[in-house]
Structure 1
Amino acid sequence: MIRAVMVMNTQGKARLAKFYDFQPVEKQQELIRSIFGVLCGRPENVSSFIESDAIFGPDTRLVYKHYATLYFVFVFDSSENELAMLDLIQVFVETLDKCFKNVCELDIVFNFNKMHTILDEIVLGGQVSETSSDQVIKAVDEIIKMERSSNSLTLGPKTGSGRQGR
């Protein structure tokens, strides 16, 4: 099971943090700080896999990928394959790149809801639900289209000043 997905910048500021098992907010912030402390101290030429028993408890692993100013981190237990999780990060980043035309930190900050929707299409409840970037984009486009039509129904038709003929 995937226990958490995080995206943080190189200063340690979390841009996305989704925990699939309950953690109080204070504990989440402590975990993010601990993970960042481990990541920023690692040389670039070492493995992207980390045993995270000391941070998350027994039987947890962490895999990360560093792209430009962002770290993409997946925390998971032994029921998941490390290489599959690394590939899932790649799917997540590729999907974001397709949606935002070469994703950057500002895209994540200003499109927070879309970022969560994309992640929810890939990982749901800690389980991998979709690994095809194209299928994720189709689903996200459909959700956005439904939200827009729902909003237009809620707002009703546009009317002028409210006065009809004099």
Structure 2
Amino acid sequence: MIKFVLMVNRQGQTRLSRYYQPVELSRRAPLEADVVRCCLSRKKDQCSFVEYKDFKLVYRQYAALYIVVGVSDSENELSVYELVHNFVEVLDKYFSRVSELDIMFNLDRVHIILDEMIQNGRVVETNRSRVLAPLAALDKMADG
């Protein structure tokens, strides 16, 4: 099961966070800081899967952004690794070469995409056109 998804830049600033298990607000900032420190301190030639406390971290770097997913021990790391790549491909398709600024200024759209792909910590959809269908409808209503 997926516990959380974080998107952070190289400076460690969180650009997106979505939790699928309750975490108190007072504990989120220290958790995110520790997770980000753990992932950013690793070298490029090291594995993208990290044992962390009572769960695993799966992370992937795209340009200046890191996407970090916290998963339970029973989750398949490679499938989560591919899910992260699929998520970025969907973002690329919607934003036409997504950047950190796209994410910052369209956070609501990014959350819609993530919510279409993951619900309650489970992957529910990976098809790009199905994931983007609600946004296409929203964009059509906004234009019309």
Q: CA deviation at 1:134?
A: 2.2
Q: Does 1:88 align with 2:88?
A: no
Offset from partner CA, 1:9-66 (integer Å, 9 cap, x none) = 000100001111111222111111001111121011111001112xxxx2x1110001
For 1:143 and 1:62, the matched residues in 2 are separated by 33
Aligned residue number for residue 4 of structure 1: 4
Partner of residue 157, structure 1: none
DSSP-derived class of the 2:36 partner: helix
State which structure, 1 or 2, has the greater radius of gyration over its C-alpha atoms.
Answer: 1
TM-score relative to the length of structure 1: 0.82
Paired with 1:142 and 1:129, the residues of 2 have a C-alpha distance of: 20
Q: Can you give the 5+ residue segments of structure 1 that lack an aligned partner in the other structure? A: 153-166
Question: 1:145 Cα deviation (Å)?
Answer: 4.0
How far off is 1:131 after superposition? 1.2
Q: Report deviation, 1:143.
A: 4.3
Q: Distance in 2 between matches of 1:72 and 1:25?
A: 20
Partner AA of 1:6 in structure 2 = L
Could you say what secondary structure the match of 1:120 adopts? helix
Matched, 1:63 2:63: no
Residue in structure 2 matched with residue 116 of structure 1 by the alignment: 111
Q: In the alignment, which residue of structure 2 is the partner of 1:33?
A: 33
State, as a whole percentage, how many aligned pairs show the same letter: 38
1:20 and 1:87 mapped to 2: Cα distance?
Answer: 19
Instruction: Report the residue type matching 2:74 in the other structure.
Output: S
Q: Provide TM-score, normalisation by structure 2.
A: 0.93
Counterpart Cα distance in 2 of 1:79 and 1:117: 27
